[in-house]
Amino acid sequence: MAATINDVARVAGVSISTVSYALSGKRPIGEKTRQRIESAILELQYQPNAGARALAGRRTYILAVTEPLRPDTYTPAHMAFVLAAATAARAYDYDVLLLTQDEATGGLHRVTSSRLVDGVIVLDVLAEDERAELVRSLDVPAALVGIPADTDGLVCVDLDFEAAARLAVDRLADGGHRVVGLLGHPPSVYARGSNFPLRFREAFVTHAAERDLEVRLGAPERTIAGVREAVAEILGPDRDLTGLVMHCEDTIQMRTLDVLCAAGLRVPQDVSVISAASTFDTSTFAPPLDVIPLIPAESCSRAVELTIAQITGTVEPRVELIPPTYVDRGSTAPRRP
Amino acid sequence: MAATINDVARVAGVSISTVSYALSGKRPIGEKTRQRIESAILELQYQPNAGARALAGRRTYILAVTEPLRPDTYTPAHMAFVLAAATAARAYDYDVLLLTQDEATGGLHRVTSSRLVDGVIVLDVLAEDERAELVRSLDVPAALVGIPADTDGLVCVDLDFEAAARLAVDRLADGGHRVVGLLGHPPSVYARGSNFPLRFREAFVTHAAERDLEVRLGAPERTIAGVREAVAEILGPDRDLTGLVMHCEDTIQMRTLDVLCAAGLRVPQDVSVISAASTFDTSTFAPPLDVIPLIPAESCSRAVELTIAQITGTVEPRVELIPPTYVDRGSTAPRRP
DNA sequence: CTGAAAGCGCTTACAG
DNA sequence: CTGAAAGCGCTTACAG
């Protein structure tokens, strides 16, 4: 039914190897020849057979993307990464095979050893992640978006969460704030061993100490009551807190702003607020928030790049940290006496 | 490097065709033979090469899943469908190739005509959806989850949203409620041409008229202010509304409950509330809500089933509507005089 | 600049 | 119940 390379060769009056080389560009083709091949391809609507190409070329042009999507996972952010990975892959003419939960390791094993995929992108990496182990032992082209506890032999890419935390602290300290708070993820997220919330929190505490700030930590549940409670606690009985950093889901951030507003606290006049390592758009919040963005496209396209580099050559194991940037939207101000 | 079927055959002392048949089960194998083959496979850690299998067997065991993930799309719900499709596919030993936005039609064309995939699952179908056209003209095994305006020649599966709307209306009407409201999606969702919100709303209005109810419609924005405004409007100046159906995102539903609570209205004593066609868990809401669930696993596994049936045989074009069910959690009560 | 041919690793009639 | 062999549709040395 579908046209094959033989059909194209016949119609163009050349050999199939010439057609193949014309397609891959791996050797020079005469001008008239290339024209004849091109029109034959158009005429026949030829599309190379993926299976044959994979078998002969030892390359499927498919990348596995594993994203466990665990319960309690914050879907929009994780999906943003899946999407970014897919988009980045397409930019290199790769397709993406989606591997989810139950398949975390079994599926990875299956698709790599059957050569269904040329490489692997690992998303939502835990500090202790069996997928990291597997990738290491499988010795397959791969990149992790996130940093496991043991990075030995692995290629990892991530936002520099420690630097992001320091950036937020410095912004507040430089503004003269003395008492600052961190509103983090729900407790279960820290318990699960997701590594970046911990990395952020530790760096936050450490650097705040270095800058001589008093630090208060909150880990609110998603409910309105949970947020209200955490905010009240972090503000303190005297409401002496004047700097607030939020490293959590958009729902919690929006609710926090609701709560501050209801409490009669103005941003930034009474409290300076920074949204840290956020994947969502804080410019539509009321008020718009200063943000240190976490850009999925950035880490994912680098991860794809490094994976493909491994497919076509060699890449030294490494941990690449992406430097954070600060976007000012007027939600911070110097502390008022 | 990796073991091939030839290695297995050699180690087991049989021909490669016997190994192949042992693997596929397409012809009976002697007991001792099967044992020898099995242990050879284990010993060599043999995994059939996907490319070779695709080429010779004309089957890749991959399904394309297209989910545009448009801006303004409600990610968690859509992801739930992608996940459900992936899970359902794996149950049939199929993998899933993820096709996103820009690739809506171009990608579909590419992966089907290169025989990269055996079939297609189309998610988040619009009333006018170019993917529906494409699937029709490509004549590839496919199923849509959702109902386009023109279903001619297509296989479609979806929750029966009309029946769901009637179910909700009947519940309220039977409880003696006379003034009922529908809190729907943000206006942009209706504008976009997503078909199920419209199907639900129309059936709601029609059936409420049949049951002699006064109907009020709201389409709030996601913000707290937007919800507050819509709820106030729907309650009416006299607050004579006693039945409320919500067909919208969880954020809006949670905020609506906040607003009702703040207004001093109790559920179900003052207002009976039903969550309709919801993919999320309403049992953790305060209060837990009666729900007519929309279960992604249901429609997706049926869609996968019908697609695979097309791959292996013939399936008549059809529109399959899944009957809704009602889960009582005590958020509705008879109207008090 | 181009072609003839081997080979990638399977599946499946065909034969016994 | 099992084997020998053709063939799936490409890529890529090898040769000219």
Contacts of A45 in chain B (CB under 8 A): 113
The mean of the pLDDT values for chain B is 93
Cβ of A4 near strand C (distance < 7 A):
no
Residue with tokens 């607003």: B259
Q: For domain A62-159+296-322, say whether CATH 3.40.50.2300 is its number.
A: yes
Q: Do domains B5-48 and B62-158+296-322 have the same CATH topology?
A: no
DSSP codes joined into one string, A78-117: HHHHHHHHHHHHHHTT-EEEEE-GGGTTHHHHHHHHTTS-
Closest CA to B183 of B173, B162, B197: B197
Residues of B in Cβ contact (< 8 Å) with A41: none
Give the count of beta carbons closer than 10 Å to the beta carbon of residue B191: 10
Q: Under a CB-based contact definition with an 8 Å cutoff, are residues B60 and A51 in contact?
A: yes
The neighbouring-strand residues paired with B245 are: B182, B274
Tokens (6 digits) for A34: 């290339």
Which strand (E) or helix (H) includes residue A244? strand A243-246
Tell me the CATH number of domain B5-48, given options 2.70.170.10, 1.10.357.10, 1.10.260.40, 3.40.50.1860: 1.10.260.40
- pLDDT at res. B183: 97
Per-residue pLDDT at B72? 67
**B55/A20 Cα distance (integer angstroms):** 17
Do residue B115 and residue A50 have CB atoms under 8 angstroms apart? yes
Question: Which tens digit of pLDDT belongs to each residue from B282-315?
Answer: 988 889 999 999 999 999 999 999 999 999 999 9
Contacts of A258 in chain B (CB under 8 A): 224
Contact A100 B83 (CB under 8 A): yes
| Local confidence band at B71 (pLDDT 50, 70, 90 cut-offs) | low
B140 vs A106: CA distance, rounded Å: 30
Q: What percent of chain B has pLDDT over 70?
A: 99
* Fold of the domain built from segment(s) B161-293: Rossmann fold (3.40.50)
* Contact criterion met (CB below 8 Å) for A178 and A335: yes
- Taking only the tens place, the pLDDT of each residue in B116-131 is 999 999 999 989 999 9
Most A CBs within 10 Å: which of B95, B118, B251, B258, as the mutation test of the A interface? Answer: B95
Domain locations in chain B? 5-48, 62-158+296-322, 161-293
- The tokens for A147 are 């940093």
What CATH class is the domain B62-158+296-322? Answer: alpha beta
pLDDT tens-digit profile, chain A (337 residues) = 789 999 999 999 999 999 999 999 999 999 999 999 999 999 999 999 999 999 999 999 999 999 987 766 777 788 889 989 999 999 999 999 999 876 778 899 999 999 999 999 999 998 999 999 999 999 899 999 999 999 999 999 999 999 999 999 999 999 999 999 999 999 988 888 788 999 999 999 999 999 999 999 999 988 778 899 999 999 999 999 999 999 999 889 988 998 998 899 999 999 999 999 999 889 888 899 999 999 999 999 999 999 999 999 999 999 999 999 999 999 999 998 7
Phi, psi at A155, each rounded to 5°: -105, 115
B19-43 confidence digits (pLDDT tens): 999 999 999 999 999 999 999 999 9
Residues 307-326 of chain A whose Cβ lies under 8 A from any Cβ of chain B? none
Express each pLDDT in B177-222 by its tens digit.
999 999 999 998 888 878 899 999 999 999 999 999 999 999 998 8
**Which residue matches tokens 């956020």?**
A278
Helices and strands: H and E segment counts in chain B: 13, 11
Which has the closest alpha carbon to A271: A175, A191, A165?
A: A175
- How far apart are alpha carbons A90 and B8 in whole angstroms? 36
Bridge partner residues of A95 (DSSP): A62
Q: Which nucleotide is nearest to A27 (CA to C1')?
A: C1
Tokens of A285: 């919040």
pLDDT digits (tens, 9 = 90+) for B129-160: 999 999 999 989 999 999 999 999 999 999 99
A23 touches strand D (CB under 7 A): yes
User: Is some CB atom of chain B closer than 8 A to the CB atom of A91?
Assistant: no
Reported residue count of chain B is: 337
